[in-house]
């Protein structure tokens, strides 16, 4: 199975992960600012920890995948700076603690990353394939979700545009190629673990959108 096949086989699950009242509120302009601000703070934490996960993955990546992962790391570092500028404008507290939905999601990713870094021999295949599939799923979910919110209403339109650029689409396509290579070259066991990682990302994505409407864990 390749990345397209994962989405096709689990179409209903993917729909739930990438469509949400949060995104619909961005599209229509009905999203409360408090929900957006809560989500932005947690997404800042998420991006910070995603960068750390991808750094671990890059350290274990084959030569074919180094460029796309390194480019992703640079983009994530720039994204943190963008969040910090946005936080100053919206008066967000980026020092607020991680919400459990954010912590659980990113802890899962970091576990995949550390597993890649420490795996050797045959275990390296079992570690890398789920991890690169997870990175692709993370970014593909983000892209699909924000595409559903286009063009965004009023002041939300700039945010929606920020997360649906052609450059981001190309990055997601590059990750799909990397994940497809890994899936094609991996054992059945590694592919099954990759499918489980895909499903885990879908579940965590749904929880992350919902988190915006909860003031606390």
pTM (predicted TM-score):
0.95
**Contact (CB, 8 A) for 209 and 23:** yes
Average pLDDT over residues 7-15: 98
Residue 126 or 54, more confident:
54
Closest CA to 197 of 144, 137, 107: 137
First to last CA, the chain: 36
Position 124 scores a pLDDT of 83
CA 128 from chain centre, in angstroms, equals 17
User: Percentage of residues in the chain with pLDDT exceeding 90?
Assistant: 93
Position 216 confidence tier, pLDDT thresholds 50, 70, 90: very low
User: Percentage of residues in the chain with pLDDT exceeding 70?
Assistant: 99
CA angle 169, 204, 201 (to 5 degrees): 50
């Amino acid at each position: 199975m390749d990345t397209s096949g994962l989405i096709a086989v689990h179409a209903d699950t993917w729909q739930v992960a990438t469509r949400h009242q949060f995104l619909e509120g961005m599209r229509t302009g009905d999203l409360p600012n408090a929900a957006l601000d809560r989500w932005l703070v947690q997404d800042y934490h998420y991006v910070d920890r995603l960068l750390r996960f991808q750094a671990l993955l890059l350290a274990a990546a084959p030569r074919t995948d180094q460029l796309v992962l390194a480019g992703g790391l640079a983009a994530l570092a720039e994204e943190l700076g963008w969040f910090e500028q946005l936080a100053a404008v919206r008066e967000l507290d980026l020092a607020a603690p991680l919400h459990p939905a954010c912590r659980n999601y990113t802890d899962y990713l970091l576990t995949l990353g550390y597993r890649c870094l420490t795996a050797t021999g045959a275990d390296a295949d079992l570690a890398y394939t789920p991890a690169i599939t997870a990175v692709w799923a993370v970014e593909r979910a983000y892209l699909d979700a924000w595409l559903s919110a286009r063009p965004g209403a009023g002041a939300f339109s700039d945010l929606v545009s920020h997360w649906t650029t052609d450059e981001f689409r190309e990055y997601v396509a590059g990750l799909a190629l990397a994940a497809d290579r890994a899936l094609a070259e991996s054992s059945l066991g590694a592919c099954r673990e990759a499918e489980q990682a895909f499903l885990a990302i879908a579940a965590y994505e749904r929880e992350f959108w919902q988190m915006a409407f909860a003031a606390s864990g």
